[in-house]
């Protein structure tokens, strides 16, 4: 009996999905189900391009020995990384200055506290 219930619950819809579908009106649910039923099935629905076809709308800047492929762009830091580095350096300098000031005030307070009986 226990295994039968587990098998049935494995096929049940999670409560979150039931809540999501409950807010939709019947017409919209029917349209979604109809659209999904008419969706293509097979390798073409997974984005595979048959070998007899070539990719279109890929501009390589001229004739290429490998049509359909764009030029290689090497991986590396963004050309705008220098702006981020400059901001981080400025914040580090500000943090260091605040830390030095805080430590100086703390030492001054310690000296005052030691000087009093």
Q: Which pLDDT tens digit goes with each residue over 16-37?
A: 877 877 788 888 888 888 887 7
Q: What are the C-alpha distances in Å from 44 to residues 17, 39, 48, 51, 113?
A: 28, 11, 6, 12, 80
Write down the pLDDT at residue 83.
Answer: 93
pLDDT of 61: 53
Kindly report the pTM of this predicted structure: 0.34
Could you report the per-residue pLDDT of 41-60, keeping only the tens digit for each? 665 544 555 555 555 555 54
Average pLDDT value over all residues in the chain: 78
pLDDT at 17: 79
């Amino acid at each position: 009996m226990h295994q039968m219930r587990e098998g049935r619950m494995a096929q049940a819809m999670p409560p979150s999905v039931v809540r999501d579908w409950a807010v939709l009106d019947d017409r919209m649910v029917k349209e979604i189900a109809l659209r999904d039923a008419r969706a293509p099935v097979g390798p073409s629905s997974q984005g595979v391009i048959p070998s007899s076809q070539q990719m279109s709308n890929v501009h390589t800047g001229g004739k290429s020995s490998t049509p359909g492929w764009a030029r290689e762009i090497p991986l590396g830091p963004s050309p705008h990384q220098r702006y981020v580095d400059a901001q981080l350096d400025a914040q580090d300098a500000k943090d260091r200055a605040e830390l030095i000031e805080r430590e100086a005030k703390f030492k001054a307070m310690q000296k005052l506290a030691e000087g009093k009986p």
